Amino acid sequence: MHATDTPQLLEIIVEESGLPRGGVLQTVALLNEGGTVPFIARYRKEQTGELDEVQIRQIEDLLIYHRELSERKVTVLKSIEEQGKLTPELSARIASCRKKTDLEDLYLPYKPKRRTKATIAREKRLEPLAELIAAQELTTGSPAEAAAPFINAELGVPDAEAALEGAAHIIAEQLSENADLRGMVRDLTREQGIFGSLLIGEGADKDGKFRMYYDYQEPLKSIPSHRMLAMRRGEKEDVLRLALLAPEEEIVGRLKGALVKRESIFKGILEAAAADAYKRLIAPSIEVELRLEAKTRADEAAIAVFAQNLKNLLLLPPAGGRRVLGIDPGLRTGCKLAAISETGRFLEHVTIYPHTGGAKAEAAGAELAGMVQRNDCLLIAIGNGTGGRETEIFVRDALRKAGIKAETVMVNEAGASIYSASEIAREEFPELDLTVRGAISIGRRLQDPLAELVKIDPKSIGVGQYQHDVNQTLLKKALDAVVESCVNFVGVDLNSASWALLSYVAGLSERQGRAIVRHRDEQGAFASRQSLLKVARFGPKAFEQAAGFLRIRGGENPLDNTAVHPENYAVVEKMAADLGVSLSQLVADPGLSAGIRIERYVTDTIGIPTLRDILAELKKPGRDPREQFQSASFREDVVTIADLKEGMILQGVVTNVAAFGAFVDIGVHQDGLVHVSQLSHRFTKDPNDAVKVGEIVKVKLLSADPERKRISLSIKQAEPEKAPKSAEVRKPQPKEKPVNEQSAWEKAGFRVKK
C-alpha cells in the first residue's frame, strides 16, 4: 500500500467514483501490486466485480490525484507548523480538503510571498492601525485623527492619508487570502462569468481564420471545447485578446458585506479596501485559475475526441494474411512500389514513373504488372496523398490491360513519412530509402493497421483536433492508454510482433519488447508461452501480466493461441477430460464447448465471469475481435474538386471526427465536411454516435469551392429517411439550425491539405 493510502482516502475514491466499494478497494489493491489496467479488467473480474477498463482507469486517476493532494497536505501542514501558526481548526480544515484549489486557498495566508504593498505597510508598523480599522469600534471622530499616532516620516509615513492607505493594503490582502471568500468569488465567476474575445487590430488576422471571434462572448460554463481552443489559438497567434468578464458588482457587494460588520468611522475605508482586494488581488488570480480550468476542460474534451478517433483507427479491420503491393504515390518523383509477404516481410521494391509522360510512363504499366505477378500480390495498397487518385486510376487500368485480378485499396498514409525517418524504420530497413520504407508501411497498414500504426507517434496519425494546443502530458497519457487498450484487446502474435507492438502489451516495457525480439532472433520462434520465462529480465510478474495477451500459432499448447490465461489452463484441461476428449480436440472443435456447464468448475479462485470468458474463447478460439475487412470505392470520374458536381452521390471514408461534424475522404485530395446537422436523420449531439474514423459512408455533395478547397457533404441526404416502426414512438427532434459551413470550417482548426 502507498504511504498516503489511508482508509479515509480510499473512502473518498469510492464516493467520487460512484462505483461499488468492494470493487474499488480490490482494484486499488491490484494496482498497488503492480497490476496493469488491461490485465485487471480481463483476468481479475471476480475481485473487481467486473469493472471495465474505463472504470479502472477512473479509479487509477482518482488514486493519483488524491495521493498528490495528500502529499501536498503534508508539506502545507509542516510549513504552517514551522511558522507556529497551526491551529486545531486549521489542521482539520486542511485534512478535510478534497480539491487542490481549496487546499491552496487555505495555505495562501501562510505561503512565503514576495514583498507586497501589505508587507511594506507592516514594515512601517501600520498593522495595529489595520486592526483598529477592522475592529470597527470607533463611531466618533475622523479616520485621520485615528491615524495620527501612526505618522512616522522616518518609516515613510509622512501623513495620516499615507497611514490609512497602508492599513487598507493590509486589510485588502487579508480579505483576499480568506479561503471562504475566494471560494465564493470563484464559484460566482464560474457560474456567471462571460468569456470573450476581441480582434487586436485591423489586419491582425490575415487569413480570416478567426473571423467568428472578432467580437465574441459566451458563458464560461457552457463554452464548447473547440471554441475555447480556437480562441486560445487566436490569442497565441496575436490575433485575439481574451478576457473573462465576472459579475463584479455582485462580488464586490458580497466582499463589502463580509468586511463591514457595523457602522463606524472606517466604513468608507473598508468598502474601498474590499473593492481594491477584488480588483487588484483576487480577480487577476481567479481569472487565471478559471481560464486554466476552462482550458483543462477543453483539453479533456478534445483529447477524448482524439482518443476515440485513434481507437477506431487502430481497430480498423485487417486485410489479413495476403500478399500486398504497397505504393507510395508521386507525380514528378515517381511511385515507390514495395511487395510484402503474407506475414509483412519485405520482398522487393521498384520505382515507376506513370505520370511523367514519355518512355518511362509507357514502361510503368508493364513494370507494375510484372511485380504483381512475380510476387503473387492479391491486394494493392495505394497511399491517399498527392498523386494517390491518379495512381489508383493508372493501377486499375494497367491491371485490366494485363488481365490481372487484384483488389485496389486507398490507404490513409498520414504519418507514413514520420515512420520512414524513425528509429524503428531504420532498424527494420537500414539499407532502404525513406520513400521505400513509406511504401512498405502503407502496404502493412492494409494487412494489419494496429501492428503498423503503433510504430508511429499517435499525434502524427492525423485524427486529432487542436492536438498541438492541448496539454501534451495529458494527451500522451490518454493516447498511450488507447494504444495499450487496443493492443491487448486484439492480442499480439509473439513470433511476428515488432518490439514496438510488444511494448504496449500489459506488463511489458520497450526494453522487454526488444529483449523478446532479440531472444526470438537468436533462439528461434517461441514454442510456448512458458518459454517466455527464458527471456532475459522477464520475471514472473511480467509473465502474469502479459501472457494472456500473447498468442502462439501452432505451438506446443493449443491454448497458447487463445485469450485463456496460463493460470487457468488446468480448468480447461479438466473440461476436456470431463468431455472425454483431448485438449487439442476441444480447442479445434468449437461445437464441443456446448457440452460444458461452467458452474461445475467454480472454485475459490475461478468464478463465473472468468469461466464465461473461457467458454467464449473455446467457441471461437484465436478469433480476431476486429470487424471484417472491406474497402471503399471512389468514382473513377472524380479525381479533383473541379470534377465535383452538386447533388453527386459518392462513397467515402471518414478520416476525422470533431465536435461539429466529420471529415470524409472522397478521393479528391481534400476532405469534405459533414456538419453535425447532416450526419443523421435523427438528432445527433455527439458525432461519434453517428460515425467513426475509418467507416465507409455514402455522402451527397452539397457544395464545393475549388478556390478555398472546401467541400460540404451530407450523409443523411444520401440515404432516404427510414419510416419508424409502428410500435416505435419517435421523440420530437430539436429544430435544426441552418448549416453555417463558414463558421464550421473556422471552428475546425485543421490545416487545409495542399
**Torsion (CA) 14, 19, 23, 28 in degrees, nearest 10:** -50
Do β-strands 492-493 and 215-219 pair in parallel, antiparallel, or remain unpaired?
A: unpaired
DSSP state for residue 157 in the 8-state scheme: B
**Alpha-carbon distances of 355 from 362, 642, 668, rounded to whole Å:** 10, 19, 17
Give the per-residue pLDDT at 722.
Answer: 63
Give the per-residue pLDDT at 11.
Answer: 96
Given a cut of 90, whether residue 162 has pLDDT beyond it is: yes
**Alpha-carbon distances of 322 from 237, 384, 463, 497, 519, rounded to whole Å:** 48, 21, 27, 17, 27
**Torsion (CA) 403, 407, 408, 409 in degrees, nearest 10:** 180
Nearest Cα neighbor of 59 from 81, 102, 26 is: 26
Mean pLDDT across the stretch 280-289? Answer: 96
Percent of the chain with pLDDT over 70: 95
* Exposure string over 714-738, b if 16+ CB within 10 A, otherwise e: bbbbbeeeeeeeeeeeeeeeeeeee
- Determine the Cα–Cα distance for residues 38 and 41; give it in Å rounded to an integer: 5
The overall longest dimension of the chain from CA atoms, in Å, is: 109
Are residues 518 and 457 in contact, defined by beta-carbon separation less than 8 angstroms?
no
Which band of pLDDT confidence, cut at 50, 70 and 90, is reported for residue 730? very low
DSSP state for residue 554 in the 8-state scheme: T
- pTM for the predicted model, two decimal places: 0.86
Are residues 278 and 251 in contact, defined by beta-carbon separation less than 8 angstroms?
yes
Average pLDDT in the chain? 91
Q: What is the pLDDT of residues 118-138, one digit of tens each?
A: 999 999 999 999 999 999 999
**Residue type at position 462:** G
DSSP assignments along 211-222, one per residue: GGGTEEEEEGGG
- Determine the Cα–Cα distance for residues 173 and 283; give it in Å rounded to an integer: 13
Which band of pLDDT confidence, cut at 50, 70 and 90, is reported for residue 61? very high
Q: Name every residue whose Cβ is closer than 8 Å to that of residue 61 and which is 6 or more positions away in sequence.
A: none
Given a cut of 90, whether residue 702 has pLDDT beyond it is: yes
Name which residue leads in pLDDT, 132 or 729: 132
Which band of pLDDT confidence, cut at 50, 70 and 90, is reported for residue 621? confident
Are residues 649 and 699 in contact, defined by beta-carbon separation less than 8 angstroms?
yes
Lowest mean pLDDT among 67-81, 256-270, 351-365, 438-452: 351-365
- The region, left, alpha or beta by phi > 0 then psi within -120 to 50, assigned to residue 662 is beta
Percent of the chain with pLDDT over 90: 81
Rounded to 5 degrees, what angle do the CA atoms 449, 543, 585 make? 75
Nearest Cα neighbor of 614 from 577, 585, 586, 582 is: 586
Given a cut of 70, whether residue 692 has pLDDT beyond it is: yes
Mean pLDDT across the stretch 246-254? Answer: 97
Are residues 545 and 36 in contact, defined by beta-carbon separation less than 8 angstroms?
yes
**Residue type at position 289:** E
Given a cut of 90, whether residue 754 has pLDDT beyond it is: no
Give the per-residue pLDDT at 749.
Answer: 37
Are residues 592 and 585 in contact, defined by beta-carbon separation less than 8 angstroms?
yes
- Determine the Cα–Cα distance for residues 636 and 364; give it in Å rounded to an integer: 20
Give the per-residue pLDDT at 723.
Answer: 54
The neighbour count for residue 101, using CB atoms within 10 Å, is 13
Which band of pLDDT confidence, cut at 50, 70 and 90, is reported for residue 734? very low
- The region, left, alpha or beta by phi > 0 then psi within -120 to 50, assigned to residue 138 is beta
Are residues 509 and 36 in contact, defined by beta-carbon separation less than 8 angstroms?
no
Are residues 609 and 46 in contact, defined by beta-carbon separation less than 8 angstroms?
yes
- Determine the Cα–Cα distance for residues 372 and 327; give it in Å rounded to an integer: 12
- Catalogue all structural domains in the chain, each as residue range(s) with its CATH number: 7-110 (1.10.10.650), 117-306 (1.10.3500.10), 324-447 (3.30.420.140), 518-619 (1.10.150.310), 641-748 (2.40.50.140)
**Residue type at position 162:** A
Cell of 489: 484487446
Given a cut of 80, whether residue 753 has pLDDT beyond it is: no
**Alpha-carbon distances of 728 from 594, 683, 733, rounded to whole Å:** 36, 16, 15
* Exposure string over 19-32, b if 16+ CB within 10 A, otherwise e: beeebbbbbbebbe
Are residues 323 and 341 in contact, defined by beta-carbon separation less than 8 angstroms?
yes
Cell of 38: 488491461
Q: What is the pLDDT of residues 307-360, one digit of tens each?
A: 999 999 999 999 988 999 999 999 889 999 999 999 899 999 999 999 988 888
Q: Which residue has the cell 483431448?
A: 582
**Alpha-carbon distances of 262 from 128, 275, 333, rounded to whole Å:** 19, 18, 84
Give the per-residue pLDDT at 1.
Answer: 61
Half-sphere exposure of 610 (CA within 13 A, CB side): 24
Lowest mean pLDDT among 183-197, 287-301, 639-653, 738-752: 738-752
Residues counted in the chain: 754
Do β-strands 550-551 and 492-493 pair in parallel, antiparallel, or remain unpaired?
A: parallel
- Determine the Cα–Cα distance for residues 326 and 446; give it in Å rounded to an integer: 9
Give the per-residue pLDDT at 321.
Answer: 83
Q: Name every residue whose Cβ is closer than 8 Å to that of residue 246 and which is 6 or more positions away in sequence.
A: 185, 188, 189, 192, 193, 283, 286, 287
Which band of pLDDT confidence, cut at 50, 70 and 90, is reported for residue 622? confident
Q: Which residue has the cell 479533383?
A: 640
Nearest Cα neighbor of 379 from 334, 335, 314, 327 is: 327
Name which residue leads in pLDDT, 399 or 753: 399
Half-sphere exposure of 314 (CA within 13 A, CB side): 29
Nearest Cα neighbor of 66 from 23, 37, 36, 28 is: 28
- Determine the Cα–Cα distance for residues 53 and 481; give it in Å rounded to an integer: 10
- Determine the Cα–Cα distance for residues 197 and 331; give it in Å rounded to an integer: 44
**Alpha-carbon distances of 736 from 684, 716, 739, rounded to whole Å:** 10, 13, 8
Mean pLDDT across the stretch 76-91? Answer: 96
Q: What is the pLDDT of residues 554-573, one digit of tens each?
A: 999 999 999 999 999 999 99
